[in-house]
Amino acid sequence: MVGRLAGKNCIVTGAAGGIGLETCILFVKEGANVVMADINPEALEKAAAIVNHFRTDTEVKQVICDVSSEQSVQELVAAADPWGGVDVMFNNAGIMHGKDDDAINTPEKIWDLTQNINVKGVWFGSKHAVLSFRKHNKKATSVINTASFVALMGAATPQLAYTASKGAVLAMTRELAMIHAREGFRFNSLCPGPLNTPLLQEWLGDDVEKRFRREVHFPSGRFGEAIEQAHAVVFLASDESSFVNGTDFLVDGGLSKAYVTAQ
Ligand code: NAD
């Protein structure tokens, strides 16, 4: 059976984390070659071992990369050159810092760190993907940038640097989609709802009140799972979504459409 991503070379940043790892697994299952990139070498090693378990006749590479460094991202994108260049770029790495707070209490260095990784990282990934698409004369490519549902909704629980960064991802992705549409380069944002991954669960920790302030708003009554995001990413990466461009692709269990939740 031919996979939905057969013949595609894919790069995933934040590949050792919740969404990134699940996506890499689905990408290789769907027949893609995958470059897995993460800043955390030990976690990346473990994640790559898992992904390799699902690999058949495709290739998997690991690259240690800090997406906030342009040189690091340039080297990452070059890792797909021996395969004929990248076709799918998933700019997914992101942080939500424990000291991220409201306008008064967010330290400036946390603000800067968050924007450097969450916004500049997506810009560098998009920029070097476009340069590579042109270099390899690609005509049908897909860039998926991970934003968040908080880019579309006002959160009453403060995480100001993170929220601002994800709003920037959404706006940047929309413009990239327009600018490059006639070259055949698609750009979409993935907007996950709150998930069962370390990023959010470690941030919430055992703060019951903080957790309840969120859980009460879930129409489905539960956090989302990383695999549920990964399935959406496969669609956006594949040619099945060839006419989907510039979207804020929400995978949030209906959270953003809720007025009040059912009992
Ligand atoms: P995660 O923390 O499980 O994984 C994130 C990965 O990114 C980690 O492996 C981490 O090492 C890596 N990373 C961090 N900084 C990096 C850097 N500078 N360069 C390269 N890699 C770096 O998180 P996740 O839940 O899988 O989140 C993935 C994306 O989804 C993030 O952009 C996040 O903001 C977004 N998101 C998550 C949720 C959620 O509830 N978990 C909701 C909405 C959006």
173 token code pair: 């992705």
pLDDT at 212: 79
- For ligand 1, atom 6, the nearest C-alpha belongs to 14
pLDDT at 209: 84
Q: What is the DSSP string of 13-31?
A: ESTTSHHHHHHHHHHHHTT
- Name the CA radius of gyration of the chain, rounded: 18
Mean pLDDT computed over 90-115: 97
Is the distance from the beta carbon of residue 253 to the nearest atom of ligand 1 less than 6 Å? no
Is the distance from the beta carbon of residue 169 to the nearest atom of ligand 1 less than 6 Å? no
Percent of the chain with pLDDT over 70: 99
Is the distance from the beta carbon of residue 199 to the nearest atom of ligand 1 less than 6 Å? yes
Instruction: Give the pLDDT confidence of 1-53 residue by residue, as tens digits.
Output: 689 999 999 999 999 999 999 999 999 999 999 999 999 999 999 999 999 99
Mean pLDDT computed over every residue of the chain: 95
Task: Ligand 1 pocket test: pick from 166, 197, 214 the residue with the most ligand atoms within 8 Å of its Cβ.
Answer: 197
- What are phi and psi for residue 53, nearest 5 degrees? -60, -30
Q: Measured in angstroms, how far is the CA atom of residue 7 from the centroid of ligand 1? A: 27
CA–CA separation, 108 and 236 (whole Å): 35
- DSSP-derived letter for residue 62 is E
Q: Taking 80 as the threshold, does the pLDDT of residue 105 lie above it?
A: yes
- What predicted TM-score, i.e. pTM, was given to this entire model? 0.97
pLDDT confidence bin for 157, thresholds 50/70/90: confident
pLDDT at 68: 98
Q: Which residue has the tokens 């957790």?
A: 211
Instruction: Give the pLDDT confidence of 167-189 residue by residue, as tens digits.
Output: 999 999 999 999 999 999 999 99
- For ligand 1, atom 12, the nearest C-alpha belongs to 14
Is the distance from the beta carbon of residue 68 to the nearest atom of ligand 1 less than 6 Å? yes
259 given a catalytic annotation: no
- Residue 34 contacts residue 51 (beta carbons within 8 Å): yes
Q: Which residue among 90, 133, 162, 249 is the active-site one? A: 162
Q: Measured in angstroms, how far is the CA atom of residue 63 from the centroid of ligand 1? A: 16
- For ligand 1, atom 2, the nearest C-alpha belongs to 199
